[in-house]
Amino acid sequence: MNLIEYADRDMMAIDLANRLAGELTAVLQHQDRATLVVPGGTTPGAIFDNLCDVDLDWDRIDVVLSDERWLPQNHPRSNTRLIKKRLLTGQAAAARLIPLYAPMQHPEDAIPVLEAELSSCLPISVALLGMGGDMHTASLFPRGDNLRLALDPHAPLLVPMRAEGLDEQRITLSARVLRNALNLHIVITGEDKKEAVMRAEHLSPEEAPVKAVLDTATIHWAK
C-alpha cells in the first residue's frame, strides 16, 4: 500500500493541497480543462482552505464531488454546501461546479441529467477521496443496496445508494469512474482509520468498498 504519513494534520493539508495543485497544473499543460473530484465529510476542510488560494487556472477546472447526500444544497449535511463554503472561494471561485444533486425526490430521477453533464468531464484528472471508519469511500457503503452495481466493471457513472443507518439517500460516482482517475488520493486521519485501511487490504470490495481503489491510490494519513 502506498501510504504517506505526515507529522500533523496541518502539514498534511498544506502538502496535499500543493500536490493536488501540481497535478492539476501538469494536466492543464496538455488539456484545455481538468477535472478535480473531492470528498465531503469532516476531513477535507483544511485541505480545501489551502487549495482554494493556490494560483491555478481555476476557470479551466471542473469540480465534482465524489458523492452527495440527497439533500438541498443549503442543508448543513450537504457536501455541496461544504465545498461552496471551503473550496469554491478565493481564487477557486472561478472553477465550474458540476452538480451531483437536483431538487427531485430521488437520485434515480436526476441521474440522466446529472450524467449528461458529468460525462463530458471524464476521465477524472485528479481525485481526492475520504474514507469512513466502516471502510466506505465516496458513498460506496458496505451493505449498500446498490453496492454490487457500483463495484461492477461496467457500472454506470453514477449510482444511487441507500444503506441501513444512513440519514439520507446518497448518490455516488461508481468505482469504475474513480479507478480511472489519472491521479488518485485518499485522505484519512486518526489511528482508527489507519487500522481500517490496513484491514481493508485483506478484505473484498464488498466487505470494504475502499479496497476497490486501494491499489491505484496514494493514502495520506495524519494522526
Ligand X SMILES: O=C1O[C@H](COP(=O)(O)O)[C@@H](O)[C@H](O)[C@H]1O
Which one among 18, 31, 42, 120 touches ligand X, defined by CB under 6 A? 42
User: 194, exposed or middle or buried, with CB in 10 Å at 0-12, 13-18, 19+?
Assistant: middle
Least Cα distance to 123 among 216, 15, 208, 57 occurs for 216
Minimal distance in Å, beta carbon 188 to ligand X?
Answer: 8
Which one among 12, 13, 36, 43 touches ligand X, defined by CB under 6 A? 43
Minimal distance in Å, beta carbon 167 to ligand X?
Answer: 10
Tell which positions 135-174 bind ligand X, by CB under 6 A: 138-139
70 in Cβ contact with 106 (< 8 Å): yes
Binding footprint of ligand X, residue count (CB under 6 A): 13
Which one among 35, 79, 146, 174 touches ligand X, defined by CB under 6 A? 79
Which one among 4, 22, 41, 218 touches ligand X, defined by CB under 6 A? 41
Q: Which stretch binds ligand X (CB under 6 A): 34-42, 151-159, 194-202, 211-219?
A: 34-42
Q: Does 45 bind ligand X (CB under 6 A)?
A: no
Q: Does 78 bind ligand X (CB under 6 A)?
A: no
The smaller minimum CB distance to ligand X, of residues 131 and 200, is found at 131
Between CA 108 and CA 56 the distance in angstroms is: 35
Tell which positions 121-140 bind ligand X, by CB under 6 A: 130-132, 138-139
Which one among 35, 66, 78, 169 touches ligand X, defined by CB under 6 A? 66
Q: Does 39 bind ligand X (CB under 6 A)?
A: yes
User: 43, exposed or middle or buried, with CB in 10 Å at 0-12, 13-18, 19+?
Assistant: buried
95 in Cβ contact with 88 (< 8 Å): yes
Minimal distance in Å, beta carbon 217 to ligand X?
Answer: 13
List residues near ligand X by CB under 6 A: 39-43, 66-67, 79, 130-132, 138-139
